[in-house]
Structure formats: structure tokens, C-alpha cells
Amino acid sequence: MDINQITNKEQKEALAKKISEKVENGQTIGFGSGSTSYLTAIEIGKKVKENNLKIKAIPTSNDIEEVCKQYEIEIGNLVEDKIDWAFDGADEVDSNNNMIKGMGRAMFKEKLNILNSPKTYILVDDTKFVEKLGEKHPIPIEVFPSAMNYVSNELKKLGAIETTFRGMTENGNAIIDAKFENIYYDTNKNLEKDIKKITGVIESGLFLGYNVEVVKD
């Protein structure tokens, strides 16, 4: 990731420094993906180096794993390690902390970290807040490649007004971006589960009703 190309960099760096203050020796931390998480991983790496700390990271993307290795942070895994807390970014957040995530193609591992962490901090700049989900982004959905056409048709039955193939994840699965309008938790609280029920869907970037703490500058 090219740091010089990161938008709202100053605000994201402030968030990164704020969350790095929570790092303590011996912790296992879930590292999210995206530009804010990338900057946070760097800040945590600096703190680890300067204070000679020993921590473990559970990274959700190759970019983040490379930063951890650069700062000699040990890489853990969810089979053997228990996360103490996690951080991540988001593409959209509504007033009830519901989110769309995964435009960076890592929604499956991001969701795993959140589900396995007792505390997750979501770091967002001012551009990520929306009145209703779907205002700025589609829902990214990780799909087994040969199921793409079937999943696309089933998504339209659920109300998607447009589905687009956007490439592959680091897991070797396809990404379908599904555009839904007016996603409100009160009226669409089952949408995340309904998407997951479609045969061929690995995971979606829709996060409804998760216990997270949104951190803003």
C-alpha cells in the first residue's frame, strides 16, 4: 500500500496513534485491513520496537501481515491463539454502528476477527458515516467462483438492484458487489443472514448488530 495515496491521511494517523496507546506487552491483537488499519499497524509496530514489547498479531490481509513482519511482530492464528482485542476500519457506518466492510477484499477474515474478539475498535474518519447503509458502497460478497451466477441471481431475489464481479480475494474466491438501497437495521436485520444462507456464499461485508466500539478523531 502506498502511504502517499491514502486519503484523509492526517485524520487516520490520529486514529492510529490513539489506538496504539492500548497496546500492552503479551497481548494478542486482531489487525484489520484497509488504509486506517495499515497506518495503525505501523504505529503499533513503532511502539513495539521502541518499548521492546512482545505481542502477537492476527492479520486479515497480506498487506497488514507484511507490516507486522517488518516490525518483527509475531504472527498468530485463530486456532491456537485467543484475541485480547481487535481493531479494524469500515467503509460505511450508520448511527447504530452497523457497517459495510470489505471493499478492500478481506471481509471474511475481518468478520472472523470480530467474532473471536471480546472487544473490537472500529476506526473511522468523517467520510465513513452514513444515514443508511448502501449510500456510498455496495455490499461486497465473497463467493466460491463456480457459484457466481447462481449467487448473483439469488441476491437479486433478496432485493439487490445490481450485482457486479469485482475480482478475487486473497483466499482465491470471487467478489460480487451487490447494490442494495435503504438498508436499515430495523427493517433489514435478517439480510446478512439471508445472504449467508445462499449456497456458494463464503461471507459478506454486511455487519449488522455487532458489538463494536466506533472510534473517531
Q: ∠ CA(13), CA(69), CA(30), 5° rounding? A: 60
Angstrom distance (rounded) from CA 185 to CA 132: 9
C-alpha 148, offset from chain centre: 22
User: Which strands, in side-by-side order, build the sheet including 56-59?
Assistant: 74-75, 56-59, 28-31, 85-88, 120-123, 213-215
**Cell numbers for 110:** 475481518
φ and ψ at 117, to 5 degrees? -110, 135
Radius of gyration of the chain (CA): 17
Catalytic option among 43, 110, 142, 203: 110
Neighbours of 4 (CB within 10 A): 6
Instruction: Look up 110 and say whether it is catalytic.
Output: yes
Provide the sign of the torsion angle of the four alpha carbons 21, 104, 64, 142, taken in this order: positive
Burial class for 197, CB neighbours closer than 10 Å (0-12, 13-18, 19+): exposed
Q: Which residue type, as a one-letter code, is found at position 114? A: I
User: What residues act catalytically?
Assistant: 110
